[in-house]
Structure 1
Amino acid sequence: MLGAFALIAAAIAIPALTGWNVHVRSFPPLHAEWTPRVGLGLPAAVLLGALVIWRGQRVAKQLTWRRLQIVVFVVALGWLLSLALVDGWNGIGTILNHRYEYLGTAREVTDFGATLNEYVARIPFQHENNWPVHIAGHPPGALLFFYVLVRLGLGSGLAAGLVVTVLGATIPVAVLGTVRLLGAEDFARKAAPLLVFSPAAIWIAVSGDGMFSAFAAWGAYALARSATARSRQTKVGIRRPWVRMVVWAAVAGLLFGYCVMLSYGLLLLGVLAVTVLVVARSWWPLPVAAVFGLGVVGVFAANGFAWWEAFPVVHQRYWDGIASRRPPEYWMWGNLAAFAMSAGPAIGASLMGVVSGGIATFRKRPRFAPLSATLQGEAGRKSAGTSMRVVLLLAAAGWMMIALADVSNMSRAEVERIWLPFAPWVLLGATVFSERTLRWLLVVQVVFAILLQSLLQTGW
């Protein structure tokens, strides 16, 4: 964690002290401005943070799983709203109303089919009626989502912001459910407070990428449901496991396929999908999920938007814009600092846990044994080791997606929101530490999030 703080400090200090223009608004590595304030939601954020530090771990261990899911959703929603409301009610809808976001364009669309047919042509800067930056930089799935909200009468900034916030509150529910399905309920319970009280909530509540994260998390959950359908038959008496496997694989394919139509970078979710199947030791869902995922992409292509035709055009627009002026010498590591601010400094502990815990676990000499005090005998030790491997592999998948995104050279700055779908999986790596260490990590995450939201005005 100290390494994460050092990285953040260097990313802030070097441009400020040297005058190095790294081409983001005011407060690199974040797209933000220094605007200290005390807002409406601050007391609620402080109260929720204090409560989770005091009782969060105990509650997560004691509640039945169903009740824990409900509590996680409700508390996550409260945390998201309290941070957003530091800026008052404007904190929920103002950013979505900005001209470079999706909502304004969604209000103007009257024929989405016609929009798809002209989508690629309007991406380049040279087009006289080119798309706003976020529309141009993403496939049309994001625009379609907000277009549907507009058609449903939820097209105001506040209404759309509340929809995105509610979806964002389901992210930890889906991630924890995935971990449990893969055989690590003990670690899921340990992870619950850390996943809910992440600084990522600052961006999840106000950006389209928060909605992307929800689709990605539920895609992983559906894939885990499919991959474990046969094993769950013997445990809970499920009938027709093959039917359930196919249905859940289809749902996973639809969700992951739609993720590809939300953001070009979410193609990297393939790493997460493969990891889920590896952990579950089942490849049966893969062909079904692949067919339905490709089907989503095919439907968009049949209606005028071919992903493979759009991507090189987007790549060119990216380099025609400000990205070409953002120095890679800074952003190759500045991106990681921005991610450490958005996901929280606990990612430093996560990386340490993945590396150290991974080496120790796969040598069959576990260095971290969070359950050793409660699990007795050889069976208990084996169970703890298996659970640990689940979270280590999922966290390693998160880090792999981050590494690939960083070296792609298509993520210079703005990753505090772009990498939101990867953040909860990365944070799982911190759960290999003791409960005492986790409590201190939670303190840091809560305090860091509240200070960040109270001192900086983020751009999305």
Structure 2
Amino acid sequence: MLVAAVVAPMVGDAEWRINIFALAPPLFGEFDPHFGYGTVAAVLTALAVIAYGPVLAARLSWTLLVITSMATGLVWTFSLSMIDGWNRGFAGRLVRPDEYLAEVSEVSSITGMLEEFSSRILDFQPDSWTTHVSGHPPGSLLTFVLLDRIGLGGGAWAAGFVIVVGCSAAGALLITTARLGDEATARRIAPFVALTPGAVWIGVSADGYYMGVAAWGIALLAIAATAAGKRAVAAAVGSGLVLGFAIFLNYGLVLMGVLAIAVLVAARKYRPILYAVPAAGVVAGIFAAFGFWWFDGYHLVVERYYQGVATLRPFSYWGWANFASALCAVGPAAAVGLGRALRPRRLRRREAVVLLAVAGLLAMIIADLSALSKAEVERIWLPFSVWLLVATALLPRQSHRFWLAGQALTALLINHLVWTYW
């Protein structure tokens, strides 16, 4: 599929090729071989994880393993971003004219911003929001405004916040897998979630932030479904609040409901819904009280989407090439693991890692069929595709170093050969 996605634009007619609107299809970016400050650090990090990751994953205490996985992911992500340089790859990512920070200084009143948010979504009006702000609910802009208000303004602080939250998803995946399956299974996936090729886009796109938030919402739900008493109730409420906020970061995160269902099916416990859903409703109610109704924003953003290049981008290409893009973000190990997860015998057994990986895939399929994700899904689908990494638990243990090398090579090649942007 990946080869076909690369070759198809080369053999298509000129107009079709232009309308794809991607210079390095199926990735959104352009071919630009380069090295940078982060090259050596990224290679050394990859070699360390390949050599020692599987052993440490088996030996470290559980708490230390979770922390180490998140920290390793952070080093890996930052190293990859620094291949493009401090400004180009990190501090300058979120300050471009079409990004969130371009609007932060214009927000004099948070309540005023929420009240007028929907009226500024559509394009071709004097006060239209920038591309990224208009394409998302106000929670995204609100996040960066609040960072600015507490003294963490500017591109470097915003980028640091995004990759810290994004890389924390590694811990959420480990906790979810351990809760719904067992600790041994979670330990097997630890090196893979730390060394994910998706780090190319976690550093630094806001979608990495969305991924981290959504992943912790699912982890809290897994805790709620496997705990008892007050702890279960607290975790369920926390999950509802986090996932409720997530849909005000990204409209597409309503599809995290597919992952939530997978969690409850794996745990065979549905009581958390009684607490999580009302908690999510509280978040929606707060935004509505301040003037933003989610459904109004969604319908307007669909209209805004088709005011741009989406009208020209052919679904005949992106309808399937999207999955080649997503493959670049999860790597060959996750793809092979997913193939094992989709075997009928495993599907019938409803193993936790199988349910989570299949749910991630199903969310991606639904997003694809909506035709609201034509291109750039290597980053846009991160909150869904990251769950395919749990399928690496199904790979033979003796092959882990081989597949970790494949994961690292995927990320290093993309980051050194393609100038990715969004």
TM range (shorter): over 0.9
1:295 paired to 2:282:
yes
Q: Which amino acid aligns with 1:193?
A: P
Q: How far apart, in 1, do the equivalents of 2:346 and 2:113 lie?
A: 52
The answer on whether the counterparts of 1:121 and 1:127 sit within 8 Å (CA) in structure 2 is no
The answer on whether the counterparts of 1:32 and 1:457 sit within 8 Å (CA) in structure 2 is yes
2:76 to 79, 90, 104: 79
1:328 paired to 2:315:
yes
Which residue in 2 is equivalent to 1:88? 85
Which residue in 2 is equivalent to 1:282? 269
Residue 363 to residue 229, structure 1, CA distance change in 2 (3 Å): closer
Which residue in 2 is equivalent to 1:21? 18
Which residue in 1 is equivalent to 2:65? 68
Aligned 1:57-456 pairs, distance under 5 A = 57-90=54-87, 91-230=89-228, 241=229, 243-356=230-343, 359-361=344-346, 389-456=351-418
Q: How far apart, in 1, do the equivalents of 2:29 and 2:389 lie?
A: 24
The answer on whether the counterparts of 1:351 and 1:429 sit within 8 Å (CA) in structure 2 is yes
The answer on whether the counterparts of 1:353 and 1:430 sit within 8 Å (CA) in structure 2 is no
Say which one has the larger Rg.
Answer: 1
1:34 paired to 2:31:
yes
Q: Which amino acid aligns with 2:381?
A: W
- The alpha-carbon deviation at position 448 of structure 1 amounts to 1.1
- The alpha-carbon deviation at position 415 of structure 1 amounts to 0.6
Q: Which amino acid aligns with 1:160?
A: A
Q: How far apart, in 2, do the equivalents of 1:423 and 1:263 lie?
A: 15
Q: How far apart, in 2, do the equivalents of 1:229 and 1:258 lie?
A: 23
Which residue in 2 is equivalent to 1:233? none
Identical amino acids, percent of aligned pairs: 39
Q: Which amino acid aligns with 2:346?
A: T
- The alpha-carbon deviation at position 83 of structure 1 amounts to 0.4
Which residue in 2 is equivalent to 1:367? none
Q: Count matched residues.
A: 418
SS in 2 for 1:98: coil
Q: Which amino acid aligns with 1:117?
A: E
SS in 1 for 2:301: helix
The answer on whether the counterparts of 2:341 and 2:347 sit within 8 Å (CA) in structure 1 is no
CA offsets per residue over residues 19-38 of structure 1, 9 Å max, x none? 42243241111110111111
Q: How far apart, in 2, do the equivalents of 1:361 and 1:336 lie?
A: 23
SS in 2 for 1:437: helix
- The alpha-carbon deviation at position 252 of structure 1 amounts to 0.4
The answer on whether the counterparts of 1:116 and 1:140 sit within 8 Å (CA) in structure 2 is yes
SS in 2 for 1:68: helix
SS in 1 for 2:364: helix
The answer on whether the counterparts of 2:189 and 2:393 sit within 8 Å (CA) in structure 1 is yes
1:47 paired to 2:44:
yes
- The alpha-carbon deviation at position 111 of structure 1 amounts to 0.3
Q: How far apart, in 2, do the equivalents of 1:11 and 1:303 lie?
A: 44
CA offsets per residue over residues 237-279 of structure 1, 9 Å max, x none? xxxx2x1112111110110001110111100000111111111
The answer on whether the counterparts of 1:277 and 1:283 sit within 8 Å (CA) in structure 2 is yes
SS in 2 for 1:108: coil
Residue 306 to residue 74, structure 1, CA distance change in 2 (3 Å): same
Q: How far apart, in 2, do the equivalents of 1:221 and 1:173 lie?
A: 9
Q: Which amino acid aligns with 1:157?
A: G
Which residue in 2 is equivalent to 1:9? 3
Q: Which amino acid aligns with 1:438?
A: H
Q: Which amino acid aligns with 2:337?
A: S
Q: How far apart, in 1, do the equivalents of 2:110 and 2:172 lie?
A: 30
TM-score between both structures, scaled by the size of structure 2? 0.96
Q: Please tell me the root mean square deviation across aligned C-alpha atoms, in Å.
A: 1.4
- Give ranges in structure 1 of 5+ residues lacking alignment: 1-6, 231-240, 365-387
Residue 190 to residue 255, structure 1, CA distance change in 2 (3 Å): same
- The alpha-carbon deviation at position 142 of structure 1 amounts to 0.4
Residue 162 to residue 201, structure 1, CA distance change in 2 (3 Å): same
- The alpha-carbon deviation at position 437 of structure 1 amounts to 2.9
Q: Which amino acid aligns with 1:59?
A: L
- The alpha-carbon deviation at position 60 of structure 1 amounts to 0.3
The answer on whether the counterparts of 2:181 and 2:351 sit within 8 Å (CA) in structure 1 is no
CA offsets per residue over residues 156-207 of structure 1, 9 Å max, x none? 1111111111112211011101111113211111111111111110111201
Q: How far apart, in 2, do the equivalents of 1:360 and 1:437 lie?
A: 22
SS in 2 for 1:257: helix
Q: How far apart, in 2, do the equivalents of 1:329 and 1:253 lie?
A: 37
Q: How far apart, in 2, do the equivalents of 1:92 and 1:294 lie?
A: 35
Q: How far apart, in 2, do the equivalents of 1:56 and 1:347 lie?
A: 17
Q: How far apart, in 2, do the equivalents of 1:115 and 1:284 lie?
A: 37
SS in 2 for 1:410: coil
- The alpha-carbon deviation at position 127 of structure 1 amounts to 2.6
The answer on whether the counterparts of 2:337 and 2:395 sit within 8 Å (CA) in structure 1 is no
Residue 129 to residue 363, structure 1, CA distance change in 2 (3 Å): closer
